[in-house]
Amino acid sequence: MNRPSMVLNRMDTGLCLGDGRVNYTAVDLNRLTIRRALFDGYSKKQVDAVIARIIEDYTEMNNSINELKCQISSLSEAVQHYKVLEESLQHSILVAQHTAEQIKANACDKAKNITDEAEVKAQKIISDAAEKVRKMQEKYELIKSEVYTFKTKSEALIQAQMDVLKQLSAE
């Protein structure tokens, strides 16, 4: 299709639809001048060509708008899905934090109980050892006393036998 002649060159607005640019921008349509035919007013062929291009542009725009609405809908659903996932993950994190705090508190309690039990056992071991040492000292003192008594008696016996030997040798 031939483009109708315009008073001003078409301004490039950068609008794109699908794989190409629109045939007419709003500025183009405002500045568009269609030549008059000699007897019938405007050139029917030229008006039909302009209208065909406008219809083409608006059809393509409507299709693009519908596609974009579908994409927006899809993306909105995806965003909603990710929001649900985010909420689920946040809830999971909170549960995990709570569980970790409980585990930590339980571990601290258990560690304190183990430490307390160890201290009680250590104190008992120290007490038992001190008792054994006291008993051994008593036994040592008793044996020491018995050794002293034995030594004294042995010395007395030896002295008595020495005296008997002296008397026998003096006779």
Question: pLDDT tens-digit profile of 1-21?
Answer: 444 443 333 333 334 444 456
Enter the pTM of the model: 0.45
In-domain check, residue 7: no
List 21's β-bridge partners, or say none: 16
In-domain check, residue 2: no
Question: pLDDT tens-digit profile of 100-118?
Answer: 999 999 999 999 999 999 9
Q: What is the mean pLDDT of residues 131-138?
A: 96
In-domain check, residue 10: no
11 in helix, strand or coil?
coil
The count of domains in the chain is: 1
36: containing domain: 16-170
